């Protein structure tokens, strides 16, 4: 089995409540694509950056914390440009 570093996927929606389901589908597709090429995601190094704004975003972020790989709401690379802001 080989491991891959520095691969990114992105999902976006106008409805924060859709993120958990969309995330599950994206991870399944990504893992499947990696398996087809005899590769595997190193979950210990994976980071999920979650940004959610608007009504329901706080609840969505709480839901995502239990399912995402090492979830963060800001990154060390972009610092304050990716700071957390969760409106309700």
Rounded CA gap, 33 and 51, in Å? 25
Q: What is the pLDDT of residue 4?
A: 62
Does the pLDDT of residue 29 top 50, yes or no? yes
Of 20-29, 45-54, 66-75, give the range with the top mean pLDDT: 20-29
List strand residue ranges (DSSP E) for 1-88, in order: 2-3, 39-40, 48-49, 71-72
Task: Choose between 50 and 81: higher pLDDT.
Answer: 50
Q: Which residues pair with 2 in a beta bridge?
A: 39
Query: If you search the block for the tokens 């608007």, which residue do you land on?
Result: 54
């Amino acid at each position: 089995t080989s491991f891959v570093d520095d691969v990114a996927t992105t999902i976006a929606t106008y409805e924060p409540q859709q993120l958990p389901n969309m995330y599950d589908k994206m991870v399944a597709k990504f893992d499947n694509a990696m398996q087809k090429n005899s590769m595997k995601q190193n979950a210990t190094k994976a980071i999920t950056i979650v940004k959610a704004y608007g009504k329901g975003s706080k609840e969505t972020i709480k839901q995502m914390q239990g399912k995402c790989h090492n979830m963060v709401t800001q990154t060390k690379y972009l610092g304050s440009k990716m700071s957390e802001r969760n409106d309700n």
